[in-house]
Structures are given as structure tokens and as C-alpha cells.
Amino acid sequence: MNRRKFLRLGLGLTGSTALMAACGAPAPSQPQEAQAPTTSPSAEALAKELSWYNWGSYVADSVLEKFKAEFGVTVKVDVYSSNEEMEAKFKAGGNPGYDLITPSDYMVSKMVAAGMIEKLNFDRIPNFKNIDDSHKKLYFDPTNEYSVAYNWGCTGFAFDKTKLPEPIANWKQVTNWPEALRGKLGMLDDVRELLAVGLRVLGYSGNATDPAEINAARDLLIDLKRRANYALTDSPNAATNIVAGDIFGTQIYTSDAVTARRENANVVYVIPGDVSTVWQDNLCVPKGAPSQYTAEVFIDFMCRPEIAAENANEVGLGTPNAVALKQGLIAPELAEDKAIYPDVAALGNALEFLKKGDPQVDELYQRAFDEIKTA
């Protein structure tokens, strides 16, 4: 993937929603005013239960309760910790009974190619117009037939400001972790996110395909491991560890960093200014869904500005809902937080998607990652 430039929207907030025109998205249009609530479909046409396979702690309970109150549908949520875990469940024996999934950008394209995602009926999702155009027709769904943007964010770095000798501003500082703080650094237990740090510090794209570049990043991260003895963990556990004081700094996803900050006022979250990962999670209907209609009614509900805002305020991630932002429905402490709604004009080329799916390239990364873990 090429490094990406972001588009600034005229929403009154510098760098609110915006994923790249270079991904194939058209120039963003002016958001439309909020419309009256969608007419409720007949109760007979809806399933009694909607089964959603989702990331953990990734939807506000209050939103699910409101959906049930209005439509009489109970939303049952099962959780996964990685896109690959979710994909494996469907590969193992087809759809085990889910109506809705939340794959990240690259996994959408991978599952579409494998015939694992249904095309959406957008006649049932009129509130899709509230999603800003810069979150539509991106590289993973260029015709926007399979997905609706749900949340977006970055992979950044959280640190305890009382424990480090200086604030972290870039990934090079992370890879120069002080030896005096050995054992107090956390990194994500994710093949591509981990190696992207090494690649970017060396001046390469996080999507490098040259084996020499990937191996150079591997060597840098092995050296860092020997010096800093960093712990590999998933992002929710990274948040737990930094709040508890077990680590002083960690690579982390936006939502988990927001959680950590809420629990420990000394935690600072930054998007390192060299190059960092940006991602978008999406609502999709998997093949074999028991009730695609119910899933699409729910997606439309989630695209209402007031619902999108309530959900984003609870989860702590950037919403792609332009109307929610324009109407000031996002909590000020989130809307004004440049780590959640980055100043994309200032970051410029310093954000990029991580593209995955080429088996040969994926194998190169996996081998390098395995060598880091066993070093």
C-alpha cells in the first residue's frame, strides 16, 4: 500500500472524519442534515434475534437496548480478538449462524474474494447517506457493495507520562527504548502491526514486499527485544497492563488507549508522527446469514446520527458519520482529541492502511514474526 494523504472535511473540527481519496474514495461531499427516523419495518419481517460476531467492547449496550425497544429484536454479540480468528470460524465450516460481522478494511476484501460476504441491499439502508463519502469506496470495497463504515482509528502509542524521561512523539523513540526501563515496553502481538514499526523506522512502507526490507525490520525488532525485553500482547491487555503499571509504554489501538486514559489520568495516547497505521472497521453481512434483512435494518439504525454518536462516545473511536459530527453530537472531550479525530492535514502522508491477503507476502511477514517471537 502507498502512504496516504487524508482529506480534511469542512465539519468545523480539524481532521474529523476522513479516509483517503487515494484509496479510491471520491472527494467528500457536504454532509446532509439528519432526517426523520427510518420507518420501522413490520415486526413479522424481522427475526427475533440478530447474531453479531464483533470485536470485544465494541458497541454500547444502550444502543442495543434501544434497537430492541424499537424493533423487538435482541442483538446477541459474540466476540473475537482478531480478524483472522473471525475468518477462521467461517472457513472451518461455513457461517455458524451469524447475521453480521465487523471485519477491518483488508479482511473485507479478502472475504469478498473468497465469496464469504453478501452484497448489501442499500434500499434498506437509507441512512447510509450520513456516512461521509471519504469513508466509502475505499480500496477494500471500491464499488461499496459489501460494507458500511462503522468505526475508524489508528494504531498509536500510549505511555505513562510520569514514568518516561521524555514524551514519545515518533516510533524511532520507541525503538530506542531506554535500557533503564527494560521490561516496561509493550508491543502488539500482531504480525503486520509489529513489523510495520520496524519498517517505518527504517524508512520503508508498512506494506513492503521486498524480503530484504522485511528482514531488516525483523532484525531491528529482535535487537529491540533483546535490549528492552518487550511484552507482546493484544491491545485490550495492553491497556490493562499500562493502567496497572506493569508496563510504562505500549503500542495500542485507539479505543483501548481511550479506555486506559479513562482509568489512569497519567496515560497519554499519541499517533507517532513518522508513519502510523490507520484502519476502518466495517459492518458486513456474511454469506448464509439467517436474516440479512434484520442485519440491514440494524445497520441502518446504527447509521442514524444520534445512534452513531451515542455508540462512538461510549466506545471511544472516530465515527464516520458526518451528520453526527456536524450536529455536535460527539462528546467534546473526544471530538477535540487529536488522537481520536486526528489533524489529518498536519499528518499528511504519515498514515497508511496495512494491506494484507497476498499469500506469498503474508508468508514472508509470518516467518519474520515467528523469528522475532522465538529470538
The larger pLDDT score, comparing residue 21 to residue 119, is at 119
Task: Please provide the DSSP assignment of 48-95 as one string.
Answer: SEEEEEEETT-S-HHHHHHHHHHH--EEEEEEESSHHHHHHHHHHHS-
Helical axes 359-374 vs 211-228, angle rounded to 10°: 20
pLDDT, one tens digit per residue, over 227-239 is: 999 999 999 999 9
Give the pairing type, strands 267-270 and 351-352: unpaired
Q: Please give the pLDDT value at position 23.
A: 43
Question: CATH for 21-152+279-339?
Answer: 3.40.190.10
Q: Which residues contact 282 (CB under 8 A, 6 or more apart)?
A: 102, 103, 104, 105, 108, 141, 147, 148, 149, 150
43 pLDDT band, cuts 50/70/90, is low
Average pLDDT over residues 314-337: 95
Cell of 158: 500510549
Residues of the chain with CATH 3.40.190.10: 21-152+279-339, 154-277+354-374
pLDDT, one tens digit per residue, over 83-113 is: 989 999 999 999 999 999 999 999 999 999 9
Average pLDDT over residues 319-330: 97
Percent of the chain clearing pLDDT 70 (strictly above): 88
Question: CATH for 154-277+354-374?
Answer: 3.40.190.10
Distances (CA, A) of 183 to 173, 208, 226, 227, 242: 16, 29, 10, 9, 12
Cell of 182: 527494560
The H or E element that residue 279 is part of is strand 276-283
Cell of 27: 472527494
Distances (CA, A) of 338 to 254, 317, 323: 11, 12, 19
Distances (CA, A) of 231 to 101, 135, 369: 30, 34, 14
Least Cα distance to 339 among 188, 200, 155, 135 occurs for: 155
Q: Please give the pLDDT value at position 345.
A: 65
Q: Please give the pLDDT value at position 357.
A: 82
* Beta-ladder partners of 151: 281
Length of the chain: 375
pLDDT at 38 > cutoff 50: no
Least Cα distance to 139 among 26, 29, 22, 28 occurs for: 22
pLDDT at 188 > cutoff 90: yes
314 pLDDT band, cuts 50/70/90, is very high
Q: Please give the pLDDT value at position 81.
A: 85
